[in-house]
Amino acid sequence: MWLTDAQKIGVALTTFGGLFMLLGVMLFFDGALLALGNLLFLSGLTLIIGPQKTFYFFARKQKLRGTACFIGGILLVFFKWPFVGMVVETIGFLNLFGDFFPVILTFLRQLPFVGQALNMPYIRDVADRIAGSRTSVV
């Protein structure tokens, strides 16, 4: 599957948004970096999957609590409450995107060095527990 130019820009914006948020947290919850990271992340996500699908993703009935926490956290960051906003936003992010963690973990296990590290005995159990992956008894 090939990405369109808009989707490539969306991936870049989402990546930069994540990096700005990480940098904002590392710099003791710098509100400007966190706000910029939030804007980049949301605009990148919209470019990747499209405005209509983005709206339907956030407006689904089973995702309303996560959406409220995520948007509320972003608003708290904008209103100069960066620490509380990031805590609320993280809760919303986990509620919204938590279903994707097993898929991400499966992808990471197929990478050359990361996969070997994630398949080590104790790390595998912790990663499965964090991602919520179900392991079959063999």
The structural domains of the chain, with segments of one domain joined by +, span: 1-59, 62-138
Cα 36 to Cα 10: distance, rounded to the nearest angstrom: 15
Cα dist. 129→80, 100, 122, 123, 132 in Å? 34, 14, 11, 10, 5
- Confidence bin at 138 (pLDDT 50/70/90): very low
Cα 35 to Cα 41: distance, rounded to the nearest angstrom: 10
Q: Mean pLDDT over residues 53-63, rounded?
A: 94
**3-state SS, residue 126:** helix
Q: 10-24, 38-52, 116-130: lowest mean pLDDT where?
A: 116-130
Percent of the chain past pLDDT 70, that is, above it, reads: 95
Percent of the chain past pLDDT 90, that is, above it, reads: 75
Query: What are 55's two structure tokens?
Result: 């709206």
Average model confidence (pLDDT) across the chain: 91
pTM of the full structure = 0.80
Q: Mean pLDDT over residues 63-79, rounded?
A: 96
